[in-house]
Amino acid sequence: MNIDMEEISKSIPKTGTSIVGITCKDGVVIASDRRVSIGNGQMVAQKDFKKVIKINDYMLMAVAGTASDAVLLSKVIAAELKLKELKTRSRPTVKEAAHLISISIYRNIRTPSMIPNIVATICGGFNEDGSAEVYSVSPAGDIRLINDYDASGSGMVFMLGLLERQYKSGITVKEGVNLAQECIKSSTQRDTASGNGIDVFSITKEGIKHEVSEEILPQYK
C-alpha cells in the first residue's frame, strides 16, 4: 500500500491563524482568531477553536500551526509548569515558560515523523515581581523577548503593517486591546485561513481578563 504523505498533510486540521501579542506599560495583550482549516485554508474545519490558551492564573499562550500539536503542547507546558511550581515552591516566570515552550518545539520539529510537528506560539504573562512579558517562539524553536509587539500565523503579514503604524511606546492595556482587535479584524478580511471570531485577552496584576469575545458572522445578500 502506498501512503501519500502530501495528501495526509493536506487533510490535517491546522489553525492557519492570526495571533498577536502586545507589550503594554501596565500588562500584556494576547489575541487570536478562531478558524481551523484543512488544505492550506481551502476548507473551514472548525469555527470556534480557542487559540489563546490559559496556562495558569497569570499566563497565556496563543498557538498557530497543526491543531492537535498545539493542543498537546499547551497541556504539556501547563503540566510541566505546575510540577516545577510544586517542586520549587515558587511561581515560574514567563521567561521560564517561554524557554520550556522553545525547548519542546525545537525537539519536536527535529524528531523524525511521518507528520511534522509544526507549532508557533506567542506567550505572555505577569510575573510575581510585577513585570509583564511577551515572548514569541517560532516553529523552528527560536525564542524572542517582545518589547513592543509581534504577530504570527498565516495572517501575520496583514497585521504587522497595522502594528507598525499604530503601536506607540508606553501603550496602555486598554489601547492594546483595541489595537489587537483591529489587527485580527484586518487579517480576517484577507487571510482565508483566519476568521470566524476574535478573542482578545489582557494580563495585568489583577489577573487574566477576556476583554473581547466576538463572533464574525457571514453576511448573505
Catalytic one of 17, 23, 93, 121: 17
Q: Identify whether the C-beta of residue 121 lies closer than 8 Å to the C-beta of residue 153.
A: no
How large is the average pLDDT for residues 122-147? Answer: 95
Encode pLDDT of 163-178 as tens digits: 999 999 999 999 999 9
Q: List the domain boundaries for the chain.
A: 24-215
Instruction: Please give the pLDDT value at position 11.
Output: 46
Encode pLDDT of 62-92 as tens digits: 999 888 899 999 999 999 999 999 999 999 9
Instruction: Please give the pLDDT value at position 156.
Output: 94
Closest CA to 125 of 106, 154, 151, 146: 146
Q: Which contacts of 161-166 are long-range, i.e. CB under 8 A and separated by 24 or more positions?
A: 162/186, 163/20, 163/22
DSSP 148: S
Closest CA to 159 of 60, 39, 42, 62: 62
Residue 121 is a catalytic residue: no
| First CA to last CA distance, the chain | 48
pTM reported for the whole predicted model: 0.88
Instruction: Please give the pLDDT value at position 167.
Output: 97
Q: What is the distance between the alpha carbons of residues 166 and 36, in angstroms, rounded to a whole number?
A: 28
Q: Which fold has domain 24-215?
A: Glutamine Phosphoribosylpyrophosphate, subunit 1, domain 1 (3.60.20)
